[in-house]
Structure 1
Amino acid sequence: MPAMMNRPDLPATRDIVLVGGGHTHALILRRWGMRPLAGARLTLINPGPTAAYSGMLPGHIAGHYARDQLDIDLVKLARFAGARVILGAANGLDRDAREVHVPSRPPVGFDLCSIDIGITSAMPDLPGFRQHAVPAKPLGPFATAWQHFLSGEGPANVAVIGAGVAGAELSLAMAHALRRAERPFNLTLLERESALTGLNASGRRQLLESLGNAGIHLREHVEITKVAQDHITLANADTIPAEFVTGAAAARPAPWLSECGLATEAGFLRVNPTLQTSDQAIFAVGDCAHLSHAPRPKAGVYAVRQAPVLFDNLRAACTGARMRSYRPQGDYLKLVSLGGKSAIGSRFGLTSSGPLMWRWKDRIDQKFMDKFRTLPAMTPPPLPRDRTSDLAATLGPKPMCGGCGAKVGRAALAAQIGRPERPGRSDVELLPGDDAALLRTGGVRQVLTTDHLRAFVDDPVVMTRIAAIHALGDIWAMGAAPQAATANLILPRLAPPLQERTLREIMEAARDVMTQAGAEIVGGHTSVGAELTIGFSITGLCDSAPITLGGARPGDALILTKPIGTGVIMAAEMSGEAEGGWVATALTHMQQPQTGAARVLAGAHAMTDVTGFGLIGHLTGMCEASGTSAVIDPGQIPYLAGAETLAALGIRSTLFPENRRIAPWITESPRNDLLFDPQTAGGLLAAVSADRADALCAALIDAGYPAARIGHLEAGPPYVTLA
């Protein structure tokens, strides 16, 4: 069945925060997209844009699955669910304030909270483990570290600490991968007690046989005293050579769970049959939870089956409905990979092994992942029956892009807000083509600008940072130092507590960005409207002559300080076609301030920030103001990850057609079309002396900016051509 889009005209009254992108929460997001709850604002907090599915990890380590086949794209999933995404690792929870703490951002308020952050197999008490070993969980970092090690050459010495089912399965997968890589290896599986106690006698016998056939050395009843760079030391003074060491024995909860005042069992959150902790507003699921009414081992099958119960109970807590109880099954099918495409299956005391078991496991895993790979199409609310004949055509086939893609095109803007008549006063200077005005008070030169953005990211903190950096761009581009700012906010309809939370997040983020830039927020204005819009009016001071668009000279080199492609990536994100990793990278670049870049480029002849008119549009403006032409090399321009792929699929931002008209003589192609892609909080484009360009690029790169020399200026009409 198609998913229904959330109603933006209905105010949110309750905040539900999901901490962690574990299997249960991933399924909650999918269900929420199919059946949203009016009045509830859903938020997901997770360290990264994806979550790895544990069931397919051994297959990936063995080489049967590509890395991306393991990942659940949480950004796409959250867009489908209409949920906010906050990319960061939660490290605390304040029960009294009803807040989740995430580093480098204001706390995230909640009315209801659910925790699904999994476990780690790190062994911090084992000397040397932190420095020289890689825990098998979290899965993402482990998979990355293993692929790096596997790509090496020569003999491989590997050790796996923990000979439970997980450790044995991992060892078999690693041995298979090393054989495929034709690397001789010595792989040791270590256990301080007896190995494979989680299987019945038949399953244990078959798995022990598989370990022997794979050439894996099993050492039981050993005590490890130290992990070194190239070996492990045992209590009896024996040493085991190992350049790659992983731990699969421990199941440790995050330390902060024991520090938030909730009842725990060995550090795991105790939950009752309704999956609530000792605080009824806080739920916990997956491996980080302890089922106090029915203790069970840590296994993904329980997390998956908790999802429908948690989904119903979160809704019940908001609506007053009756809650459900979760009753875990007593036994479940255990499918253990044997390295190659073979597996052991065990349940109810019966055991079978072979390729058929692997195909069964693969079918189960692929069926689970297919829930997230193919999401039902979102169905927009129907148009009114009585409407004008051209209403549907005006709306278009897709929603309007946010950010710069929601702005008016260059031609229409120039026609209505072109250079106005001079006001006849000497203290105001209107600079040709520049977005900021220059005010003179006594001997002081002050730059004034304003800008705002519709929210295209649901996290108000990230959106505020982007909007602030976007508005500061005109100040930096003129070589001015940011001085003071006022905030202009339109908040969506929210219940008063949610309104207060959102406003606090926005203002804390705004103050942080402005303070780092050297400016102070001195006031502002708020109103309530259909959607979140964030804007700033900013002044800056010029200690020397301002850098304008009109100072460029023939022979100057062109430097760009940020990659392009934000428009196409955010357009694809809105339609669910962008990978979460691409979106996260684009957001990171949009949140990078240009303070350091502006300082390096202080001697530029001309400079502008690349925003809504795209690279070609803003470069054309520089050429028009300076009386030059420009030649750029698309092969030298930095592009955001995923931008060219999405452009090749025909994805374009809303403002693209208007931008494309600026230079119709440029041949159409996915890469060339990105030159017209509207940018949000884009980089600085500077015209500098050619003999200084390479040194300036090097200085920018040293300062953390992915800058590039992309072309040069020539004498001639104000056109842009490609090299």
Structure 2
Amino acid sequence: MHTPPLPLTRDLVLIGGGHTHALLLRKWGMNPLPGARVTVINPGPTAPYSGMLPGFVAGHYQRWELDIDLIRLARFAGARVILGAVEGIDSDTRHVHVPGRPPVAFDVASVNVGITSDMPALPGFAEHAVPAKPLGPFAARWQRFLSDTGPASVAVIGGGVAGVELVMAMAYALRSKGREARVTLIDNATALTAAVPKASATIRQTMERLGIEVLEHASIQQISEGQIDLIDGRQIPADFITGAAGARPYEWVSGSNLALHDGFIKVNAYLQSSNPTIFAAGDCAHLSDNPRPKAGVYAVREAPVLYDNLRSALGAGQMRRYVPQNDYLKLISLGGKSALAERLGTSFSGPLMWKWKNHIDQRFMNRFRNLPKMPAPALPRHYAAGVQDALGSKPMCGGCGAKVGRGALQAALRDIPQLDRPDLTPLPGDDAAVLRTGDAQQVMTSDHLRSFTNDPALMTRIAAVHALGDIWAMGAQPQAAIATIILPRMSAELQQRTMAEIMRVASEVMHQAGAAIVGGHSSMGDEITVGFTLTGLCEAEPITLSGAKPDDALILTKPLGSGVLMAAEMAGQAKGAWVAAAFEQMVQPQAEASRILRNAHAMTDVTGFGLTGHLQGMCEASGCGATLLLTAIPVMAGAMELNDQGIQSTIYADNRAITPELPTGGKADLLFDPQTAGGLLAAVAAEEAEQLCSELKAAGYPAAMIGHLIATPGLRIQS
């Protein structure tokens, strides 16, 4: 008996990708709750592990070693990722607000956003310094500073444990580079008040050996270019200024209508806020029953309790109390590969403590680097011949990677009888038809995509840009759109939420393109599919495939690689940063590119059949051939690395068969990669190509001249 997927009935939204939520997602992937749709919202595709920050600053770790890849983790958990900084949560309507997208509705939510820095409130800090958090901007600035030569001056504001770890790491890194450096730690009170006397003494001795000047009870008046002015009149030279003090909650929390303690979300023993549908964990939460200092160890140990309690709030199981430990092991980096361990009032330091700290940190990060392999659903005992071959060894791709192959499509269309109508212009090979009504020329097209992301709003934006590509490729102005939506089985409330997100985004994209949504159709199925039927109006003759001429230059407006990237992402093998960058390329509309290329001799959009498949169609329609300059063809970040690992889209082999004479291997493989919402491919007069490329780049398109047309039929590659 065939068992359909269970319907979705509840929305769980995780706000922030902190340590608690990261561990929760890992656990969820190993044991998900059927019927629950999980969303994680975070400003970027990765979440840094702050415990390894001093080691990175000192030069012991590479930048990538600090990052938890949330996109890969979310794929493992079956969750959708929304990249954006939350600007508010409405606990009454149960909506989370993220700039640039529809409100995200929830039945149950959890907040794990950590804390932010209060340092920018210091006069001049925002202009002349950089806070230690968020890690991304700080890391980039520090790496640039460290790569310079000559004398250096550095100042760290804040004498807590975070500040002293940072200043010791900086002093060590500069000394390792052989640079003469003045390094200063500034605190407006007494440094290291949270450390026991023995630990404090060890740290102070280490700072002295590293040549760090410690200024205590020193209030800052302002920060200016290259120096810090103290209230007592002293001026502290500093070319690089950072701060690890003044931690505070995010401002949007104060408008949440939740009970707060000093701005932090008050939670009970079950990690529930004053609104029982909203939970909080980590540094952004205040444990009302057992107040504790802000420390990552509590966030880590809250994860299994939060996992159970969120499932309970969604309707499965019983809640349990979180009881924090009274004390915990503190491991403090001492600049070099030495650390201090302190617990229960005693401390030990040296290289052995560093090895212990490094072991703990690496073990924690390996939980996300090496996600467990979950077994695929077993096949039934008996099945028809050919089932395993048809399934293949990997999941079916989404987007244009799920297209039917060109050969099967052409065979199916070959015997369809054609009706001779004077108001319809046949355009063999073009994706849009041209209809004539009086003097008006109207183009019409239809396209839909199988979802490759769990975010309906993002998928809709990509699908809309993708469908509009056929209109823009013909030099037409979008006119009207009809939406076709298939949703997976879900409750009536989730249907309403999902359709609201989809139609709001669809309307926004179409309106920006100048088209009105005039209707649509929706149904239920096994997965999300989003499509549009579109019309457009041509003020001039439409640009088709058949106008290309020998010696024309070929211009491509977007890089290649989305097929291999999406195939890798669905298999959990792509870096989140690569996936996020690919999405940014996909959602870029081609309206302005179409306007710039309005005098192209021939044009198409590069989509499911890959660059060579669509170029072959242009050449066949125009009676010519083409030479591609392989080195000039732009590719998306990560595409080459994944291709070299043997990752390819489902339709790769079919696309390869279109032009079997072309070489394969390395970058050449990406010529057959299916593109979703890909760029425009235009044949333009050679003497105009350079100027057109300049205009496209000025408009924000990563355009390139990738070859030229020749009189001899067929495609050729020039390395």
**Shorter-chain TM-score: which interval?**
over 0.9
Opposite residue 674 of structure 1, the aligned amino acid is L
Match of 1:138 among 131, 134, 137: 134
Secondary structure at the aligned position of 2:534 is classed as strand
Opposite residue 369 of structure 1, the aligned amino acid is M
Match of 1:106 among 98, 102, 115: 102
Pair 1:244–1:383, CA change in 2 (3 A): same
- Say whether residues 1:658 and 2:651 are aligned partners: no
What aligned pairs does 1:191-590 form with structure 2 within 5 A after superposition? Answer: 191-319=187-315, 321-418=317-414, 421-590=417-586
Does the CA contact (< 8 Å) of 2:626 and 2:713 recur in 1? no
Say which is worse superposed, 698-707 or 404-413, in terms of deviation: 404-413
- Say whether residues 1:42 and 2:38 are aligned partners: yes
Secondary structure at the aligned position of 1:296 is classed as coil
Identical amino acids, percent of aligned pairs: 61
- Say whether residues 1:640 and 2:636 are aligned partners: yes
In structure 2, what is the equivalent of residue 695 of structure 1?
A: 691
The separation in 2 between residues aligned to 1:514 and 1:112, in whole angstroms, is: 32
Secondary structure at the aligned position of 1:719 is classed as strand
Residue 486 of structure 1 deviates from its aligned partner by 0.4
Residue 250 of structure 1 deviates from its aligned partner by 1.3
Does the CA contact (< 8 Å) of 2:74 and 2:80 recur in 1? yes
Residue 42 of structure 1 deviates from its aligned partner by 0.7
The separation in 2 between residues aligned to 1:320 and 1:626, in whole angstroms, is: 63
Opposite residue 253 of structure 1, the aligned amino acid is P
Pair 1:418–1:362, CA change in 2 (3 A): same
Residue 419 of structure 1 deviates from its aligned partner by 8.9
Does the CA contact (< 8 Å) of 1:472 and 1:538 recur in 2? yes
The separation in 2 between residues aligned to 1:323 and 1:722, in whole angstroms, is: 65
Secondary structure at the aligned position of 1:544 is classed as coil
Opposite residue 514 of structure 2, the aligned amino acid is G
Secondary structure at the aligned position of 1:379 is classed as coil
Residue 176 of structure 1 deviates from its aligned partner by 1.0
Match of 1:73 among 69, 74, 86: 69
Does the CA contact (< 8 Å) of 1:403 and 1:456 recur in 2? yes
Residue 181 of structure 1 deviates from its aligned partner by 2.0
Does the CA contact (< 8 Å) of 2:630 and 2:717 recur in 1? no
Opposite residue 500 of structure 1, the aligned amino acid is Q
What aligned pairs does 1:81-160 form with structure 2 within 5 A after superposition? Answer: 81-160=77-156
Residue 125 of structure 1 deviates from its aligned partner by 2.4
The separation in 1 between residues aligned to 2:412 and 2:381, in whole angstroms, is: 35
The separation in 2 between residues aligned to 1:136 and 1:361, in whole angstroms, is: 21
Does the CA contact (< 8 Å) of 1:438 and 1:445 recur in 2? yes
Pair 1:419–1:223, CA change in 2 (3 A): farther
Say which is worse superposed, 115-124 or 682-691, in terms of deviation: 115-124
Opposite residue 317 of structure 1, the aligned amino acid is A
Secondary structure at the aligned position of 1:546 is classed as coil
Does the CA contact (< 8 Å) of 1:627 and 1:718 recur in 2? no
- RMSD of equivalent CA atoms: 1.1
- Say whether residues 1:189 and 2:185 are aligned partners: yes
The separation in 2 between residues aligned to 1:695 and 1:378, in whole angstroms, is: 52
Opposite residue 699 of structure 1, the aligned amino acid is E
Say which is worse superposed, 596-605 or 415-424, in terms of deviation: 415-424
The separation in 2 between residues aligned to 1:618 and 1:390, in whole angstroms, is: 31
The separation in 2 between residues aligned to 1:233 and 1:380, in whole angstroms, is: 62
Secondary structure at the aligned position of 2:179 is classed as coil
Paired positions, count: 717
In structure 2, what is the equivalent of residue 3 of structure 1?
A: none
In structure 2, what is the equivalent of residue 25 of structure 1?
A: 21
Residue 196 of structure 1 deviates from its aligned partner by 0.4
Residue 424 of structure 1 deviates from its aligned partner by 2.1
Opposite residue 590 of structure 1, the aligned amino acid is M
The separation in 2 between residues aligned to 1:381 and 1:462, in whole angstroms, is: 28
Residue 319 of structure 1 deviates from its aligned partner by 2.0
- Say whether residues 1:161 and 2:157 are aligned partners: yes
**Runs of 4+ in structure 1 over 6 Å off:** none
Does the CA contact (< 8 Å) of 1:16 and 1:40 recur in 2? yes
Secondary structure at the aligned position of 2:460 is classed as helix
Residue 184 of structure 1 deviates from its aligned partner by 1.5
Secondary structure at the aligned position of 1:114 is classed as strand
In structure 1, what is the equivalent of residue 668 of structure 2?
A: 672
Secondary structure at the aligned position of 1:562 is classed as coil
The separation in 2 between residues aligned to 1:645 and 1:82, in whole angstroms, is: 25
Opposite residue 324 of structure 1, the aligned amino acid is R
Residue 320 of structure 1 deviates from its aligned partner by 5.3
Does the CA contact (< 8 Å) of 1:155 and 1:185 recur in 2? yes
Residue 481 of structure 1 deviates from its aligned partner by 0.4
Does the CA contact (< 8 Å) of 2:228 and 2:236 recur in 1? yes
The separation in 2 between residues aligned to 1:348 and 1:194, in whole angstroms, is: 22
Residue 719 of structure 1 deviates from its aligned partner by 3.1
Secondary structure at the aligned position of 1:319 is classed as coil
The separation in 1 between residues aligned to 2:128 and 2:267, in whole angstroms, is: 35
Residue 420 of structure 1 deviates from its aligned partner by 5.5
Which digits, 9 at most, give the CA deviation of each residue in 1:37-83, with x for residues without a partner? 01111110111111000110100010000000000011110011011
In structure 2, what is the equivalent of residue 4 of structure 1?
A: none
Which digits, 9 at most, give the CA deviation of each residue in 1:626-672, with x for residues without a partner? 01100001100000000000000111100000001122222221210
- TM-score normalized with structure 2 length: 0.98
Opposite residue 28 of structure 2, the aligned amino acid is W
Match of 2:610 among 608, 614, 619: 614
Does the CA contact (< 8 Å) of 1:52 and 1:71 recur in 2? yes
The separation in 1 between residues aligned to 2:110 and 2:628, in whole angstroms, is: 51
The separation in 2 between residues aligned to 1:326 and 1:55, in whole angstroms, is: 23
Does the CA contact (< 8 Å) of 1:122 and 1:130 recur in 2? no
Does the CA contact (< 8 Å) of 1:18 and 1:116 recur in 2? yes
Secondary structure at the aligned position of 2:178 is classed as coil
Residue 479 of structure 1 deviates from its aligned partner by 0.2
Which digits, 9 at most, give the CA deviation of each residue in 1:465-516, with x for residues without a partner? 0000110010000000000000001111011111110000000000111011
Residue 418 of structure 1 deviates from its aligned partner by 4.5
Residue 8 of structure 1 deviates from its aligned partner by 6.9
Opposite residue 279 of structure 2, the aligned amino acid is F
The separation in 2 between residues aligned to 1:335 and 1:320, in whole angstroms, is: 38
Residue 412 of structure 1 deviates from its aligned partner by 1.2
Q: Unpaired segments of 5 or more residues in structure 2? A: none
The separation in 2 between residues aligned to 1:214 and 1:597, in whole angstroms, is: 56
Which digits, 9 at most, give the CA deviation of each residue in 1:398-424, with x for residues without a partner? 110001111111111112224965422
Which digits, 9 at most, give the CA deviation of each residue in 1:126-150, with x for residues without a partner? 1111121111122232222211221
In structure 1, what is the equivalent of residue 590 of structure 2?
A: 594
The separation in 1 between residues aligned to 2:89 and 2:182, in whole angstroms, is: 44
